[in-house]
C-alpha cells in the first residue's frame, strides 16, 4: 500500500493569514503517460462528511474558493489556504488514487 | 444535482448482521464507481473499497477484504455495505461516495453521502 503522511498534525493560524499543509506519499503519484498527479485534497468540518477541494493535485473543484490551492508533484504536495477564514476551521486530508487501496493521509487539523 | 443519501444510524449487538444503504440520484448509476469509507470515532478516513454498479466489479482494501460485502442494485440506484457478524470494533461512521470520473476507478471521491453511524455494543 502507498503510505500517505501529512505535516503538521495541527496548526493554528490567525484570521487572514496563510495556512500550509504538507502531504508526502511513499511512492510517486505522477503518471508520465498523462503527466498527472493522482492526488486529492478534502476538507472535513465538524459533524460533516468530507468535501472535495482539489483533484489532480492542483485542480480546484467547482465552487471551492480560490484561496484554496494545491501544488506539488511526484511524492511531495502542498495545500495552501491563502487567507484563512473562520469557516476554514476543519481537518484536511490528502488522498492518493494512483494505486489501490486509495489511501488517505492521517489529517491535519486547522484552528484559528 | 448528484445526491447520495444514506440510511439511518444503527445500534447493533456483537455477532448481529447489518446492511446499510446509499441511495443515489442525479446521474447514471451504472457508469460511476461508488466507494465506502470508514471513520472510527475521533479518527481519520479509511478507504474500504469500491464497486462498479454496471457489472458489480468490486475492489476491496486488504484491510476490509472478507470483513464486509459491497453490492449494488441497478434497478433502484442503490449501493450497499453489509456485515454478517458485527464486532465492537466496527463502531464507526461509514460514508459512501461516488468516484469523480465516469467508468474510471482510479479517481477521487465526489460527492459524499451524509454518513451512517454504526454502533456495535453489547
Identify which of A100, A101, A107 has the shortest CB distance to residue B44: A107
DSSP codes of every residue in B27-40: S-GGGS-EEEEEE-
Q: What is the pLDDT of residues A52-97, one digit of tens each?
A: 999 999 999 999 999 999 999 999 999 999 999 999 999 999 999 9
Interface test with B, best of A6, A27, A42, A49 (most B CBs within 10 A): A49
**What is the rounded CA–CA span in Å between residue B88 and residue A108?**
27
Q: Bridge-partner residues for B52, per DSSP?
A: B57
In chain B, the percentage of residues whose pLDDT exceeds 70 is 100
Specify the pLDDT at position B67: 97
**Do A40 and B109 count as a contact with CB atoms less than 8 A apart?**
yes
**Which pLDDT score is estimated for B103?**
79
Gap from A69 CA to chain B (nearest CA, Å): 17
CA distance A11 to chain B (A): 17
User: Is the model's pLDDT at A14 over the cut of 90?
Assistant: yes
B63-100, pLDDT tens digit by residue?
999 999 999 999 999 999 999 999 999 999 999 999 98
pLDDT band at B102 (very low <50, low <70, confident <90, very high): confident
Interface test with A, best of B35, B39, B45, B92 (most A CBs within 10 A): B45
Amino acid at each position: 500500500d502507498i503510505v500517505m503522511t501529512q505535516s503538521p498534525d495541527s496548526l493554528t493560524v490567525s484570521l487572514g493569514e496563510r495556512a500550509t499543509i504538507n502531504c508526502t506519499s511513499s511512492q510517486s503519484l505522477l503518471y508520465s503517460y498523462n503527466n498527472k498527479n493522482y492526488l486529492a485534497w478534502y476538507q472535513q468540518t465538524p459533524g460533516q462528511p468530507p468535501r472535495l477541494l482539489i483533484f489532480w493535485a492542483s485542480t480546484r473543484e467547482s465552487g471551492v474558493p480560490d484561496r484554496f490551492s494545491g501544488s506539488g508533484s511526484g511524492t511531495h504536495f502542498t495545500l495552501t489556504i491563502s487567507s484563512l477564514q473562520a469557516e476554514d476551521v476543519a481537518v484536511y486530508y490528502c488522498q492518493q488514487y494512483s494505486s489501490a487501496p486509495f489511501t488517505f493521509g492521517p489529517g491535519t487539523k486547522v484552528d484559528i | 444535482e448528484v445526491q447520495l443519501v444514506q440510511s439511518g444510524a444503527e445500534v447493533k449487538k456483537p455477532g448481529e448482521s447489518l446492511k446499510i444503504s446509499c441511495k443515489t440520484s442525479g446521474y447514471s448509476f451504472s457508469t460511476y464507481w461508488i466507494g465506502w469509507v470508514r471513520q472510527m470515532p475521533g479518527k481519520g478516513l479509511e478507504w474500504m473499497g469500491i464497486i462498479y454498479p454496471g457489472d458489480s466489479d468490486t475492489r476491496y482494501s486488504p484491510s476490509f477484504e472478507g470483513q464486509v460485502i459491497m453490492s449494488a442494485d441497478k434497478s433502484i440506484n442503490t449501493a450497499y455495505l453489509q456485515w454478517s457478524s458485527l464486532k465492537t470494533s466496527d463502531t464507526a461512521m461509514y460514508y459512501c461516495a461516488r468516484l469523480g470520473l465516469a467508468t474510471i476507478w482510479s479517481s477521487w471521491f465526489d460527492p459524499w453521502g451524509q454518513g451512517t453511524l454504526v454502533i456495535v455494543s453489547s
